[in-house]
Chain A
Amino acid sequence: NAGVTQTPKFQVLKTGQSMTLQCAQDMNHEYMSWYRQDPGMGLRLIHYSVGAGITDQGEVPNGYNVSRSTTEDFPLRLLSAAPSQTSVYFCASSYSGGATVREKLFFGSGTQLSVL
């Protein structure tokens, strides 16, 4: 059972380039989300999805785009990378995300992104 799989693990971009961070889960989870982790700021929610075809913005959505065409996949797109987007990105999922406050998140291993 792979859980939540993120690719790539590391990425270096130049300012203005675009790229997609991939996230896939094999646990049949309805809820998927993207966080970024910056020193001294913890993890901040970028976008989330409660099911295929449904997405919504989190705390820091600007500069990022998401879509959810299948239950398994939730890619994060950087349309025009900026140095401020240098961060560690985590994808996370849970069974429903909305049924109860006690649902824990399952995290991927993270993607370290540097924008030069």
Chain B
Amino acid sequence: AQKITQTQPGMFVQEKEAVTLDCTYDTSDQSYGLFWYKQPSSGEMIFLIYQGSYDEQNATEGRYSLNFQKARKSANLVISASQLGDSAMYFCAMREAFDQGAQKLVFGQGTRLTINP
């Protein structure tokens, strides 16, 4: 079963608009962590934001925020005031605590975001 699902293969957004990238996950563990990474055309993987399953507040990092809905098992990334430099592939990932000591980070398929000027 797919543990991380990103249903949007591609998204196109106008510059300065906000954008939401969807991520749903599947786990029976109570303790887990959710991550978002950005991969620009240069290919490197850049960590953006983290949300723990026990965190009471949604995570925020600058223009990035995470809309965490635990009951729905979703962890959507929100980018406010999008910029041309936000054009990239975005990956959602999860680490579960019970999985052999939290050693595996499982990734979704990714969403390619294109910001139009």
Residues of A within 8 A of B (CB): 31, 33, 35, 40-45, 48, 50, 56, 58, 88, 90, 92, 97-107, 109-110
Contacts and interface: CB of A to CB of B under 8 A. Distances in A.
Interface centre among A35, A48, A104, A107 (most CB of B within 10 A): A104
B21 to A, nearest CB: 14
Given A43-B93, A92-B45, A110-B45, 20 more contacts: A33-B105, A40-B9, A40-B109, A42-B108, A42-B110, A43-B107, A45-B105, A48-B103, A48-B104, A88-B43, A90-B45, A98-B101, A99-B102, A101-B52, A104-B47, A105-B47, A107-B44, A109-B43, A109-B44, A110-B44
A108 B108 CA distance: 19
A101 B91 contact: no
Interface of B: 4, 6, 9, 31-33, 35, 37, 43-45, 47, 50, 52-53, 91, 93, 95-97, 100-110
Contacts of A110: 43-45
Contacts of B32: 101
Contacts, number: 72
A43 B100 CA distance: 19
Contact of A101 (B37, B43, B97, B109): B97
Interface centre among B6, B31, B44 (most CB of A within 10 A): B44
